[in-house]
Structure 1
Amino acid sequence: MTSPAIQRWAAFTDDPSGGNPAGVVLDADALSAVDMQRVAADVGYAETAFISGRGRRRGIRYFSPVAEVPFCGHATVASAVALAQTLGDGVFVFDATVGPIEITTTSSAGGRHAEFTSVEPWVRPLDERRLDAVLALIGCARDDLDPRHPPRLVFAGNAHPLVVFRDREVFDGFRFDAGDARRLMDDAGWPATIIVLREAGGGVWESRNIFPVGSIVEDPATGAAAAATGAYLRHTGAVSTPGSVRIEQGRHVGRAGTLHVRIPARGGITVSGAAVRID
């Protein structure tokens, strides 16, 4: 395999040391799935995106260091901003495993931003046994949950279990074993992250996303999870629709990022943020 050109970006931030790092390979037509997996493992980020085709509509595949994933929001944002550097701002369409993803880039004095709308989401009850397993993993009890926001299993491209904590101290202080988390997620068939939220007030939510892959334990800024969170907030009536929220994520792992989420009355959830080149 000829080594592909790999770009490294940080998404949902304007600071190369913040947000969520993503690898981007813009000319992946000749790469097999085995090649892509090898590259993603070498890059070591939560996900690397592989782009195929030409023009403003292209194929996209996402690989973590250990497996292919159906959808990755931060790598989608990074890929669109990377393409906009040469093709200019505007609308792009990525044909992903979960379906076509439309994403729009814009530029301002503060840099370049991208906005995507998720596939049609769904929200379901979280199995009681799985909920207890999640709480046991992070050393918490049901009394720590916010009674206003019930646990759910949420999909907006990937299936995520989602729990909301009542107290900031519990939210900030929980710990978990990465190996135990990986076994739980594999057993449950959860390909992405476990979402843990806290309502900060004023339309702001804090998020922590458990995601043990390779050397990564906790994901710093997760676009797919932000879309799932928007779907959850709509489904449970926690926000009026149409509406919007801001999600702050990553301070617990030293890579703070900001995700802006627009929540329509129906349909996909829109997530936007900045992206900046790391190298």
Structure 2
Amino acid sequence: MTTSSANAIIVERLAAFSEGDMGGNPAGVVIRQTLPDPAEMQAIAKEVGYSETAFAAPIGQDWRVRYFAPEIEVPFCGHATIALGAALAMRHGDGLFRLHLNDARITVEGRRTDRGLAAALQSPPTRSAPAEPQLVEEALRLFDYRKKDLDPRLPPAIAEAGARHLILALADRARLAAMRYELPAGRQLMLANGFATISLIHAEGPQHFRSRNPFAAGGVYEDPATGAAAAALAGYLRDIGWPHGGSIEIMQGEDMGVPSRLRVEFSDEPGASVRVSGSARVMPKET
């Protein structure tokens, strides 16, 4: 745990979707009897500097939760929810916790294992639609990609599962590894279209994907692991009839040197919630 200078609020720091004792996406977690006011939460998130910080306070037997990136509030964050589930399990024991978000109600299951911490969330409902050609062209220009770089099996789409993402599937793993863009231009494109991230993926098989997720809208160049985008991707795959077999595994963050593993399980029911799970670890204390 560390203490934010903003009114001495305790911030727990955990990495979600970690690979053993390494990798994962760091998230701040603040658990209090009442939530700070929005301006204070925004200030704390900016000071913490992670892509998101989750703020939680009890409401009866449930929890009121809000998520803040360094620059904006976001409606839903998967990795911060996994971190929160792990933090609640450390405090209250293994269990299923009901969360009230700004626009949805979800659950997260947190548990302690022989290998550390683990959590699984049930996402908000999913939906997807084809991306407009002009938007696709703008996104390709942002990353200096060409239409020939895209995987025709996975057409560009806008997908949601609590947050909105543009999905671009690349046919070549090397093109994904070479991802580069200008942060201000990426931020402008994402904010103009209401995107939490742009989800760049490469399908290594029906159930195995590599992913990179620029998060310029929140002032972050790239996320090492993005649970909300993983949930949205699963909903999109279901919508297009991809042979997912009921689950997918996503490796993310490797090209950043921060390996992260996300597992998503889902049915064939259109729009239904999906389950996103992974390990979590407590971050080393800052000195």
TM-score, scaled relative to structure 1? 0.95
1:98 CA drift (Å): 2.5
Counterpart in the other structure of 1:225: 229
Counterpart in the other structure of 2:135: 130
1:106 CA drift (Å): 2.8
1:239 CA drift (Å): 2.3
108-117 or 9-18, larger mean C-alpha shift: 9-18
175-184 or 198-207, larger mean C-alpha shift: 198-207
Offset from partner CA, 1:72-129 (integer Å, 9 cap, x none): 0000010111011121101101100131111112332112211111111111111111
Counterpart in the other structure of 1:176: 181
Any conservation in 1 of the 2:79–2:225 contact (CA below 8 Å)?
A: yes
81-90 or 167-176, larger mean C-alpha shift: 167-176
Provide structure 1 residue ranges, at least 5 long, that are not aligned to the other structure: none
The structure-2 alpha-carbon separation of the partners of 1:112 and 1:151, relative to structure 1 and needing over 3 Å to count, comes to same
1:258 partnered with 2:247: no
Match of 2:199 among 195, 200, 205: 195
Any conservation in 2 of the 1:56–1:91 contact (CA below 8 Å)?
A: no
Q: 1:97-116 alignment to 2 at 5 Å?
A: 97-116=102-121
Any conservation in 2 of the 1:103–1:114 contact (CA below 8 Å)?
A: yes
Offset from partner CA, 1:15-56 (integer Å, 9 cap, x none): 554110000001161510000000000000000000112675
What SS does the aligned partner of 1:119 have? coil
Match of 1:42 among 28, 32, 47: 47
Any conservation in 2 of the 1:4–1:28 contact (CA below 8 Å)?
A: no
Query: How far apart in 1 are the matches of 2:27 and 2:113?
Result: 22
1:68 partnered with 2:69: no
Match of 1:148 among 146, 153, 167: 153
1:270 partnered with 2:275: yes
Query: How far apart in 2 are the matches of 1:109 and 1:185?
Result: 40
What SS does the aligned partner of 1:174 have? coil
Provide structure 2 residue ranges, at least 5 long, that are not aligned to the other structure: 1-5
Query: How far apart in 2 are the matches of 1:54 and 1:116?
Result: 19
1:151 CA drift (Å): 0.7
TM-score, scaled relative to structure 2? 0.92
Match of 1:212 among 187, 210, 216: 216
What SS does the aligned partner of 1:53 have? strand
What is the percent sequence identity of the aligned residues? 38
Query: How far apart in 2 are the matches of 1:174 and 1:120?
Result: 30
Any conservation in 2 of the 1:37–1:67 contact (CA below 8 Å)?
A: yes
Query: How far apart in 2 are the matches of 1:15 and 1:6?
Result: 23
Query: How far apart in 2 are the matches of 1:63 and 1:220?
Result: 17
1:248 partnered with 2:251: yes
Query: How far apart in 1 are the matches of 2:129 and 2:140?
Result: 18
38-47 or 6-15, larger mean C-alpha shift: 6-15
Counterpart in the other structure of 2:92: 87
Query: How far apart in 1 are the matches of 2:201 and 2:275?
Result: 19
Any conservation in 2 of the 1:101–1:117 contact (CA below 8 Å)?
A: yes
Query: How far apart in 2 are the matches of 1:214 and 1:259?
Result: 21
Query: How far apart in 2 are the matches of 1:77 and 1:138?
Result: 29
What SS does the aligned partner of 2:84 have? helix
What SS does the aligned partner of 1:12 have? strand
Query: How far apart in 2 are the matches of 1:172 and 1:94?
Result: 35
1:25 partnered with 2:30: yes
The structure-2 alpha-carbon separation of the partners of 1:30 and 1:58, relative to structure 1 and needing over 3 Å to count, comes to closer
Query: How far apart in 2 are the matches of 1:276 and 1:3?
Result: 23
